[in-house]
Amino acid sequence: MRRGIVRRPAINFQEGQTTVDLGMPDYERAFGQHDTYCAALESCGLTLTRLDPDSNYPDSTFVEDTAVLIGRHAVLARPGAVSRIGEVTAVKKSLDPYFASVETIHEPGTLDGGDVCEAGNHYFVGISTRTNEEGARQLGKRLGLLGRTYTLVDVRGVSGLLHLKSGLASLGENRLAVIKALAERNEFVSYDLVDVDAGEEYAANCVRVNDHLLIASGYPRFAANLANLGYQTIELEMSEFQKMDGGLSCLSLRF
């Protein structure tokens, strides 16, 4: 990976959508956490495109939901929350110079990038409250044309999961981090699984960037498991984004 796209939180970040009750985020603290996150991406070798905050879209700091990147090709998402559809336009402008093709998910399909977990040439596509079967099928068709395979994973009945990647991450080397509620699913039987213990579920949303793994701070058992497996980790405070259903992967597009 050489590049990333990020967008700072807007001043009305706290007006975004959330399904959790963890209190109101503090904007200044969120701003600082975002700066630290960007610095971590840069330390892993990424050159960042930094989009301006957009108060028209309080959730727009979560840029991952706006697109799925497949090698040198991009698929613009169609977010399942209607209030977020307008976020895609600015991200498209940032993708156009770097990708050979930029396709689009069309109505009635909905797709959030947070429901798409890349594991090498295979992709897990979550069916959730934000991504419907039509959107997943449209993405799957594009994946097939580009020589990738995919598996649909229905997470609508899993408590506490807004997106598939709220409970699943690819760590490389045919290894997945996975919460207990997903660990027994047939979709993952061919992978080595790193269990995320009960009470540390938020830690499952981690990000492999070149030779490092970004993980949320405050989850010692998961951090210890990764260290024992030989991963070089960078722990980042994510408290203010967690209050708004956001995780580490949500805050950037990486390619």
Contacts of 49 (CB under 8 A, 6+ apart): 3, 4, 5, 6, 94
* Per-residue model confidence (pLDDT) at position 219: 98
* Per-residue model confidence (pLDDT) at position 46: 98
Q: What percent of the chain shows pLDDT beyond 90?
A: 100
Q: For 54-90, how does the pLDDT look when each residue is reduced to its tens digit (9 = 90+)?
A: 999 999 999 999 999 999 999 999 999 999 999 999 9
Q: How confident is the model at residue 32 (pLDDT cuts 50, 70, 90)?
A: very high
* CA angle, 26 then 30 then 33, to 5°: 145
* Per-residue model confidence (pLDDT) at position 142: 98
Q: Which fold has domain 3-254?
A: L-arginine/glycine Amidinotransferase; Chain A (3.75.10)
Query: Domain segments of the chain: what residues?
Result: 3-254
Average pLDDT for the chain: 97
Active-site amino acid positions: 163, 250
Q: For 106-163, how does the pLDDT look when each residue is reduced to its tens digit (9 = 90+)?
A: 999 999 999 999 999 999 999 999 999 999 999 999 999 999 999 999 999 999 999 9
* Per-residue model confidence (pLDDT) at position 211: 97
Q: Which two tokens stand for residue 157?
A: 């009945």
Q: Residue 154 — φ and ψ, nearest 5°?
A: -85, 115
How far apart CA 64 and CA 145 sit, in angstroms, is 22
Which whole number is the average pLDDT over 166-182?
97
H or E, element range at 134: helix 133-145
Give the sign of the dihedral formed by CA 95, CA 250, CA 20, CA 109. positive
* Per-residue model confidence (pLDDT) at position 195: 97
Q: How confident is the model at residue 15 (pLDDT cuts 50, 70, 90)?
A: very high
Q: What is the pTM of this model?
A: 0.97
* Per-residue model confidence (pLDDT) at position 76: 98
Whether 163 contacts 115, CB under 8 Å: yes
